[in-house]
């Protein structure tokens, strides 16, 4: 009986890295586009994200979309 530990470890590493990477990236996008609660005292007021945060968020979302496209490519190609 030969168990391919190397392949299993590779699957584990890649799955973990990709999942954490995509989720992290997507969260950066969400944080960049969501309103930030204002500092103490103005609980009701919120500030809209700045232009820089917005651009970073869009880049993050674009990378996520590219990952999805690559996923579809993998499904179609295999």
Give me the residues that bind other proteins (CB under 8 A), please: 1, 3-4, 7-8, 10-12, 14-16, 18-20, 22-24, 26-31, 33-37, 46, 64, 68, 71-72, 74-78
Contact present, 43 and 15 (Cβ < 8 Å): no
Residue 51 or 75: the one with the smaller Cβ distance to other proteins is 75
* Least distance (Å) between residue 56 CB and other proteins: 13
Instruction: Encode 50-78: b = buried (16+ Cβ within 10 Å), e = exposed.
Output: eeebeebbeebbeebeeeeeeeeeeeeee
* Least distance (Å) between residue 28 CB and other proteins: 7
């Amino acid at each position: 009986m030969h168990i391919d530990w190397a392949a299993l470890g590779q699957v584990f590493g890649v799955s973990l890295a990709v999942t954490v990477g995509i989720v992290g990236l997507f969260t950066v996008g969400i944080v960049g586009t969501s309103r930030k609660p204002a500092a103490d005292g103005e609980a009701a007021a919120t500030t809209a994200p700045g232009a820089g945060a917005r651009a970073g968020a869009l880049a993050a979302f674009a990378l996520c979309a590219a990952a999805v496209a690559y996923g579809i490519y993998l499904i179609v190609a295999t």
